[in-house]
Amino acid sequence: MSISNISVQQLKEWIDNDEVQLVDVREKIENDAFHIQDSAHLPLGSITRDQLPKTNKKIVIYCLKGLRGQKACEKVASTDAELEIYNLIGGIDAWRSAGLPVKESEKKHFPLDRQVQITIGSFVLLGALGSVLVNPALVWVAAFFGAGLLFAGLSGTCGLAVLIARMPWNKTA
């Protein structure tokens, strides 16, 4: 198995030379909001080697910042020792920061990461205030969400983000 990291500049060159097939492994709502033109969409949670596009081109996987992309590369490469796959360093954030084009949705989405931040912040605040004003046991609400945030930071996996991504307001027709 061969996993390599690729820079935004190298990816742009490969795209210009029609040498690459892009795969976005972010959640559907994230991909719907904006993505790199002509990229396939295969969310990290469900990606398999068999789902990758059948192509003779180089396969580059990307996410928002690069961590999920790396995990996706490892996941699919672990089942195919011959596979050569690339992860975009810095993800689509680095692509956009370099001033390169993305295809944006006409419909504006509230970004998934901000929905998660609002949810966690709300429950931490409610738990803390509730423990002072209502019942001291409500401090465990804040502790639960704090522990979840710690786990997400250490593991790179956020169960709350997966749950929020499945909410009706995050579905597109």
By annotation, the residues acting in catalysis are 63
Number of H helices, E strands in the chain: 7, 7
Residue tagged 């969400």 (tokens): 145
Give the CA radius of gyration of the chain. 19
118's enclosing H/E stretch is helix 112-133
User: Residue 131 in 3-state DSSP?
Assistant: helix
